[in-house]
Chains A and B, each alone.
Chain A
Amino acid sequence: MKNRGKIVGINKNMITVEFAGDVKQNEVAYAVLGDNRLKAEVIRIRKNRADLQVFEDTRGLKTDDIVEFTGELLSVELGPGLLGQLYDGLQNPLHKLAGELGFFLHRGKHINALPEETEWAFTPCVKPGDKLQAADTVGTVKEGSFTHKIMVPFHLSGRYEVVEIAESNKYSVKEQIALIKGKRGQLIPLSMMFEWPIRIPVTLYRERLDPAEPLITRIRIIDTLFPVAKGGTYCIPGPFGAGKTVLQQITSRNAKVDIVIVAACGERAGEVVETIKEFPEIIDPFTGMPLMERTIIVCNTSSMPVAAREASVYTAITMAEYYRQMGLDVLILADSTSRWAQAMRERSSRLEEIPGEEAFPAYLESTIAGFYERSGFVRLRDGNTGSITIGGTVSPAGGNFEEPVTQATLKVVGAFHGLSRDRSDARRYPAIDPLESWSKYTGIIDNQSRNHTVRLLSKAHEIVQMMKVVGEEGITLADYILYLKGEFFDNVYLQQNAFDAVDMATSEERQKKIFSMIKEIIDATLDLNNKDDARSFFNRIRQLFLDYNSAEWNSNDFLENERLISVLFLKYRKAGKEIEPYIFRQALVESDMDSHFIRSKTAKIKKGEKLLMVKEENEEDI
């Protein structure tokens, strides 16, 4: 019999329920309002009263209304059919809801996450008598371009023996495809789907490895200067209008991973619309399939219920863990973790908990850390590897990074891409501030070169400050050239035009090539006799590089520009003194980079060990 309780208090989306039997923390319950059942989650229990956060509008509820407890933790459905979907924070498919309800999200409506009518071509890979445990593969289906492993449900503990296994045929997600027997002889039927509670991490892997392999985002400033590793974490704080969301959108298109999960958490609905409408049209160059087929969108925008916003990031990460378990590389883009933290703050305030800094709950830091720690590069039990990389934006109040959410996030991430208002005002996109940002990961460029270029930028910045006081006339020619070199590197390499079909995504190979060309130029002593000469040289070479950046890889234009660049450069390069002494070696301000170059391990993963879902040789066709 279902455990029931009755409402004794209501405060916005928080209800207090008096119950008789046993109630579990984080259990799902439904508040009955006429024909509607409003989903809620237990978040505190005191004696015979439980506080529940309701995931929907509570208007109309009254005291003594019935609440039905389910005994189940808040869970998501896992199985084939997740890819390409648009979900709300509780995994209701929004397209289907729109089909049934029209324009508005009326409350009390729940639809199963996985399409039940779709039939999947199942190929078994075990036979009766085989021994299995949780997360072992019983068969596969083809989901888009992926081989989707049908696994033993994660919650089954101990060893099982296969009794029956379905033959190769088409099945829907709820049909039985296997029967397994436990130690005590209990028979468990398996279908292609199962559920997993979102707040509990899936840890069915052999070991967590060091995230040493770079994740290529094809955004130059990230891959070259502030890299992200597969299985690593990074955050993007920035004031409004600095381009956080655009950066996330570009990453979701171009990142070289198997699956991207976009968690639009408490931000504008309009921002998701572009992804929803355009991703089915854009073809992913690696797989030849529409981008949408490798994407899942979890969308709980700012006007959708706050409690569901709090849950939505967990919904996203649980689906990521499911795909990681198949040996895939998954990238989660959470926009924005501040809205998620604010949802926690709202909840905490209604629970009347003692507030911490800026009224955020005291457990803010541990909760943020717990979320980011669900990332990771892991070796699975079958020897394959899989990864979850988490990139979260942070929207600090007033653009001030000293606030609790930014600080708590910085403690637990491996890379920090700080966006600055100055750079976005100057239309220098992506507006990642090279003097503030850092990364503990190793990217595609060696750390020494990275370090040198960041020092050049910091020295150039100092010279700009100096010029503001003494004017252009007041600085030496050498300083002026250094300043121009810094500007040049910034203009042609760090800035990237998101609207240019070629420039928007730069492959690893191309980045290495341009970077070494640029490095040669900024390292060289140039034969420039006065400031006008210097300015005009850098203007010309900048123009050439900008054209070069928007020329298709290895096209005629590309090669021609390369030739012109080299002609111009050789003309001004001073013979004899090959490399200019690094004036910026004694930079007054030590860059943040230095302290973070501690980790420089090379990839440990042998070739062929990983399931190759991505055709790497196609990369240059982008």
Chain B
Amino acid sequence: MKKIYNKIMQISGNVVVLSATGIKYGELAVVTSERGDSFAEVIRIDGKLVYLQVFAGSGGVSTGDEVRFLGKQMEISFSENLLGRIFDGTGRPRDGGPALTKNLIEICGPTVNPAKRLIPSSMIHTGIPMIDLFNSLVESQKISIFTTSGEPYNELLARVALQAKVDIIILGGMGLRYDDYLFLKNTLESEGALSRSILYVHTAADPVVECIMVPDISLTVAENFALRGKKVLVLLTDMKNFCDALKEIAITMEQVPSNRGYPGDLYSQLAARYEKAVDFENAGSVTILSVTTMPGNDVTHPVPDNTGYITEGQYYLNNGRIEPFGSLSRLKQYVNKKTRDDHRPLMDAMVQLYAYYQEVLEKKAMGFRMTRSDNRFLKYGVLFERNLMNLSVEMPLEEALDTGWRILSACFDPEETGIRTELIKRFWPESKTTD
């Protein structure tokens, strides 16, 4: 039974209010205005008053427009046919293909029982040394790229998508600039990865409410593929826009803001999405790699701050490279003990030496005289940045480890590295290479 109303009592922001009875919380409605049909969701019931959040925005909605309640929650089509397709934030095709209406599933399902979770155990190889070697990406991990506007974060995301050995890639774009969308789409297409990808893209020009749906839809689809045994990588860019959309709606609803205008439940909202990352026993997994842009490179801004407390680490993309400091993969210790014996000690040693290099740089900048050992560090820093940190470098983990050893041997004597003698004997390159 569908209920139809045509008396809207209040329109403010993207929320319209009307008087209706028997309406379920979370139910979907269709608002028909002169601009066409738009979905709307019940976000509050107060006596007879029903608050509807209109996905396409309330612009052009008239008090006399028709509101038709559908008696069901937001649903999305799920099947293998999704692969290779591009949709907008509410699941309508963006690529001119046919709309999918079969096999509908509800979005925002229940949370996974912690008792059924597994200890993460397998690494996702990306071919990027700063990730594989220093902060390994782990299957079922949720991790964010912390960066600022202008950094090549979508390029990085595309590279991870192309190189990661996963079954399905789901890209959720929020508030993307149109050319960023085209870039991501074309990259996936030209590398032949589109056939195993599904794109849900909300561009900056689309109604803001649709932005909020993107992570939910992407993750619901991902979860269902994972339950069917697929390894799914979900890429979300940019979560800052998602948070801003939440903020906009919270303020429209006259909620008391907590910090810089963001709603008090920002943490819970973000966690509800990120916690969808999971490894199902005897089935597939969901891994989430997101982008969080930090206004003014400020990590204490509420969005990166809350994200940092939720995700299992972050990659700090700054000046076009992933910085070893500020980046952290909290799950790396589950996998880097199983790769090669020298992985963990080499990683520790190289980062420590790089920290010394930065101290030496500071000293140099202050005009202190450089000693011989200082000069070694200066050389080390340059080699490290050029051969491993540079984002264009692409090599498998084994090669990255070997490169690490070559850099060390080009700059230092073995005992200066602080690596155990046994490993030095096994891995130290025979002859010194020069750059």
Contacts and interface: CB of A to CB of B under 8 A. Distances in A.
Q: Do A and B bind each other?
A: yes
Interface string A391-408: 000010111100000000
A95 interface: yes
B308 A240 contact: yes
Given A10-B45, A269-B275, A62 B259 contact: no
A364 B116 CA distance: 34
Max chain B Cβ within 10 angstroms of own Cβ: one of A63, A106, A276:
A63
Interface of A: 8-12, 16, 57-64, 86, 94-95, 97-98, 101-107, 239-241, 266, 268-270, 272-274, 276-277, 299, 301-304, 306, 339, 342-343, 345-346, 349, 355, 358-360, 395, 397-400, 425-427, 471
9 contacts: A63-B21, A63-B47, A98-B113, A98-B115, A102-B116, A272-B114, A277-B119, A398-B299, A426-B355
A276 B119 CA distance: 10
Nearest to A104: B110
B118 A273 contact: yes
A102 B276 CA distance: 16
Contacts of A62: 22-25, 45
A61 B118 CA distance: 34
B433 interface: no
Top 10 nearest A-B pairs by Cβ distance?
A398-B300, A59-B26, A302-B271, A303-B275, A359-B258, A240-B308, A94-B115, A10-B45, A10-B25, A303-B111
B236 interface: no
Contacts of A274: 119
Contacts of B265: 306, 342, 346, 349
A11 B368 CA distance: 63
Interface string B356-383: 0000000100001000000000000000
B257 A103 contact: no
A399 B302 CA distance: 11
Interface string B295-333: 000011110011011101100000000000100101100
Contact of B310 (A302, A304, A342): A302
Contacts of A299: 114
A271 to B, nearest CB: 9
Nearest to B270: A302
B338 interface: no
A241 B313 CA distance: 8
B328 A241 contact: yes
A141 B414 CA distance: 62
A102 B281 CA distance: 10
Interface of B: 21-27, 44-48, 73, 109-120, 140, 227, 255-259, 263-265, 267-268, 271-272, 275-276, 280, 299-302, 305-306, 308-310, 312-313, 325, 328, 330-331, 348, 352, 355, 363, 368
Nearest to B51: A11
Given A59-B73, A342-B268, A346-B265, A397 B259 contact: yes
A102 B280 CA distance: 11
Contacts of A426: 355
Nearest to A103: B116
Contacts of A12: 44
A306 B47 contact: no
A345 B47 contact: no
A309 to B, nearest CB: 8
Contact of A269 (B47, B112, B331, B368): B112
Contacts of B46: 8-9, 11, 16
A8 B25 CA distance: 12
Contact of A302 (B47, B257, B267): B267
Nearest to A355: B256
A301 B114 contact: yes
B114 A86 contact: yes
A537 to B, nearest CB: 18
A60 B25 contact: yes
B268 A302 contact: yes
Contacts of A94: 113-115
Nearest to A97: B113
Contact of B305 (A98, A339, A360, A398): A398
B261 to A, nearest CB: 11
Given A58-B25, A398-B300, 13 more contacts: A10-B45, A11-B45, A61-B24, A95-B115, A105-B111, A266-B267, A273-B118, A299-B114, A306-B265, A339-B267, A346-B268, A359-B256, A425-B325
A98 B140 CA distance: 19
B47 A8 contact: yes
A346 B27 CA distance: 22
B308 A397 contact: no
B351 to A, nearest CB: 9
A94 B111 CA distance: 12
A105 B310 contact: no
Given A241-B328, A395-B309, A398-B300, A304 B258 contact: no
Contacts of A11: 44-46
B24 A60 contact: yes
Nearest to B359: A468
A268 B310 contact: yes
B109 to A, nearest CB: 7
Nearest to B45: A10
B300 A400 contact: yes
Contacts of B264: 342, 345-346, 349, 359
Contacts of B109: 104
Nearest to B265: A346
A17 B124 CA distance: 50
A440 B331 CA distance: 36
Contact of A358 (B47, B111, B258): B258
